[in-house]
Structure 1
Amino acid sequence: MGLAGEIYSAALQCGYDNCGIILPEDVKGASDFLQKRMEDVPSSISFYKGIFSNYISIKERYPWAKAIIVLTSEHGKYRYPAELRKRYAKAFFLSPEEGNTDAYDHVRFENWLQEQDIRWEHGRIPLRYAAMKAGLGIIRKNNFFYTEHGSFVGLTAYIIDQECSLHQDVSPRPCSDACTLCQKACRSRSLLAPYTMDPMKCISFWTTFGKGNVPPFLEESMFEEWICGCDNCQDACPYNRKHDWDKGEAFSNLEEIAKDMVPEKLIYQTDDFLKREVIAKTDQHLDPEDTNVLRTNAKRAIRNAQSNTGEH
């Protein structure tokens, strides 16, 4: 079977849906990809400068690195409560919380690597680009990584000190040259061209890392009812649009608490509830002290909903 095959089998046994293994030099092209994005959108330089180090040579940061394991976990196999759609980003809330092994058991996988005497680090690498190079899928015009099942997929990577490779052949149909549906769905015009974006206009950014603020170059109405994240460009995509989020397995306790996460109830929830049941599920896009960010976003969602229905 070889080491690559053993890693693949272990990954699937631990709950991951697919696994590819690439060499460190395979991600070198990601820096050119990011450099072009900054040249196309100069206003994004300040945003990307902080993460540019993720795109430089893996070997410079991890001299012992011999390979990179890339793992996928499909979010689409789970149901997503109707109360959360168009309000909470699916990828955030369908990602396992720390200690939750419902989707996959990363601790079990890491223990397996150690048992094989394999040194590993999570490391900071361009995950979507690495997954594409591993043959696990493609990057579409909205900049999201897609498998054959769509863009709602979790990505995990491990840098290891053993040389091996495993290239998959997941080849979804590419975007049509004429398709602009994701750009049209982006209310804030963050998606100003295919395969690029202005992150400072992204609704997902402002509802999370932007702490709920509405910058002067955006309008409150552009936020619609989004409380944490934004899925508009993904939901509009033909390769996601047919997915039925009413079908699939239940994920963690999401269905039990969904009714308490609607904006009208969220604004009255305690800090403890918001930290434990909401912020803990945001895949580190909100900090524990961001309870008022959630309330700010929820109040704006209520105002926008009332404006759309003519209520005051």
Structure 2
Amino acid sequence: MTHTLFIKQLASELGFDHCGIAKAVQLDEDARRLETWLNKGMHGNMQYMENHFDKRIDPRKLVDGAQSVITLLFNYFPSAQQREDAPRISKYAYGHDYHEVIRAKLKTLLLRMQEHIGPVQGRGFVDSAPVLERSWAQRSGLGWIGKNGNLIHKQAGSFFFIATLITDIALEYDSPVGDYCGTCTRCLDACPTEALVAPGVVDGSKCISYFTIELKDQLIPDKMKGQFDNWMFGCDTCQDVCPWNRFSKAHQEAEFTPIPAILNFTTKDWEELTEEAFKDIFRHSPLKRSKFAGIRRNINFLSD
């Protein structure tokens, strides 16, 4: 219990908004769901989703002797929004790349644990390894998986990054909470491309985020014309319409302060952006994941 309290207090000091802990076990039910999802081809061209299946469903294959999975939520809801007449960008990409920011915090968390507790072994992950983050967040009492496939926290909504620290020490474990989506279907009804094919099931091969970010070096199919609702990088529609996000509050992380260009660029500014300027303005941004060619493709697709 002492170690658990120390970890949760330290997580808060490092800026994480919520911390939950679950016992490291094999996720049999998730394994069945993932296998079905893959067999239906809902991962599209994201072949990496097929890799390391055994590690995805069992954290003990990622960390020897793993006993606990610590899940941390980091708020990214911005205080300012884009111009309404500009190509739309998912809110998580307004500031600096979250991988870099949160990975540093995870390293600090593990180092401080080792200093305080002893020879703790562990590995931290943030959207960069075969880890079922949302399932672990749900198991550790941080919320439920909504009909839009996102983790929803009852007091704070869903605009969170999820980080995971798998460790070889036993801790006090949290209990899952209930599902509070009820009969609401706003996300299912609002999805521009009908990618939400069932409650909690996202057909990734239909998702705007897939087409604008994951679909590397390929043209977006013509059949998707007119369906993107002006989303140029990612999509927040299913979160924007979720009633639970009325509880979202602006984050306090300086690294996630919106890049001025994201708030101020007009459609014309994006269309006239050069590769040199892109590399300079967005050198620390998640937008670099799509590279200049991908951003240019997405803008052209919206304007055609």
Report TM bin, short chain. Answer: 0.7 to 0.9
Whole-angstrom distance in 1 between the partners of 2:212 and 2:121:
37
Instruction: Give the equivalent residue in structure 1 for 2:293.
Output: 292
Choose which of 135, 141, 144 in structure 1 pairs with 2:147: 141
Instruction: Give the equivalent residue in structure 1 for 2:173.
Output: 166
Structure 1 residue 229 corresponds to structure 2 residue 231: no
**In angstroms, what is the RMSD of aligned CA positions?**
3.1
Whole-angstrom distance in 1 between the partners of 2:121 and 2:294:
39
> SS of 2:197's equivalent?
coil
Structure 1 residue 273 corresponds to structure 2 residue 277: yes
Q: Is 2:70–2:165's contact at 8 Å kept on the other side of the alignment? A: yes
> SS of 2:234's equivalent?
coil
Instruction: Give the equivalent residue in structure 2 for 1:5.
Output: 5
Amino acid at match of 2:167: I
Which deviates further from its counterpart, 87-96 or 248-257? 248-257
Deviation at 1:60, TM superposition (A): 3.2
Deviation at 1:99, TM superposition (A): 5.2
Instruction: Give the equivalent residue in structure 1 for 2:124.
Output: 122
> SS of 1:223's equivalent?
coil
Instruction: Give the equivalent residue in structure 2 for 1:310.
Output: none
The count of corresponding residues between Structure 1 and Structure 2 is 291
Equivalences for residues 41-56 of structure 1 within 5 A: 42-44=40-42, 47=46, 48-50=49-51, 52-56=53-57
Equivalences for residues 199-214 of structure 1 within 5 A: 199-211=204-216, 213-214=219-220
Q: Any idea what the Cα deviations from partners look like across 1:96-134, whole Å, max 9, x if unmatched?
A: 546548x98344323313323321112531000000000
Whole-angstrom distance in 2 between the partners of 1:167 and 1:120:
19
Deviation at 1:56, TM superposition (A): 2.6
Q: Does the C-alpha gap of structure 1 residues 186 and 2 become closer, same or farther in structure 2, counting only changes over 3 Å?
A: same
Amino acid at match of 2:81: P
Q: Is 2:87–2:299's contact at 8 Å kept on the other side of the alignment? A: no
> SS of 2:71's equivalent?
strand
Instruction: Give the equivalent residue in structure 2 for 1:156.
Output: 163
Q: Is 1:89–1:228's contact at 8 Å kept on the other side of the alignment? A: yes
Deviation at 1:18, TM superposition (A): 1.2
Whole-angstrom distance in 2 between the partners of 1:4 and 1:10:
10
Instruction: Give the equivalent residue in structure 1 for 2:64.
Output: 63
Instruction: Give the equivalent residue in structure 2 for 1:110.
Output: 110
Q: Does the C-alpha gap of structure 1 residues 25 and 239 become closer, same or farther in structure 2, counting only changes over 3 Å?
A: same
Whole-angstrom distance in 1 between the partners of 2:278 and 2:265:
9
Equivalences for residues 28-107 of structure 1 within 5 A: 28-38=28-38, 42-44=40-42, 47=46, 48-50=49-51, 52-76=53-77, 78-83=78-83, 87-93=88-94, 96-97=97-98, 100=101, 105-107=105-107
Whole-angstrom distance in 1 between the partners of 2:283 and 2:211:
15
Instruction: Give the equivalent residue in structure 1 for 2:20.
Output: 20
Q: Is 2:138–2:177's contact at 8 Å kept on the other side of the alignment? A: no
Amino acid at match of 1:119: Q
Whole-angstrom distance in 2 between the partners of 1:244 and 1:129:
21
Which deviates further from its counterpart, 292-301 or 126-135? 292-301
Amino acid at match of 2:24: P
> SS of 1:222's equivalent?
coil
Amino acid at match of 1:265: D
Q: Is 2:124–2:164's contact at 8 Å kept on the other side of the alignment? A: yes
Q: Does the C-alpha gap of structure 1 residues 93 and 197 become closer, same or farther in structure 2, counting only changes over 3 Å?
A: same
Percent identical? 22
Whole-angstrom distance in 1 between the partners of 2:24 and 2:151:
19
Q: Does the C-alpha gap of structure 1 residues 51 and 224 become closer, same or farther in structure 2, counting only changes over 3 Å?
A: farther
Q: Any idea what the Cα deviations from partners look like across 1:160-202, whole Å, max 9, x if unmatched?
A: 111113316765x61123x322122112111121111211111
Instruction: Give the equivalent residue in structure 2 for 1:264.
Output: 268
Deviation at 1:277, TM superposition (A): 3.4
Deviation at 1:264, TM superposition (A): 1.9
Give ranges in structure 2 of 5+ residues lacking alignment.
Answer: none
Q: Does the C-alpha gap of structure 1 residues 295 and 53 become closer, same or farther in structure 2, counting only changes over 3 Å?
A: farther
Amino acid at match of 2:124: H
Q: Any idea what the Cα deviations from partners look like across 1:257-278, whole Å, max 9, x if unmatched?
A: 3345443212322324323433
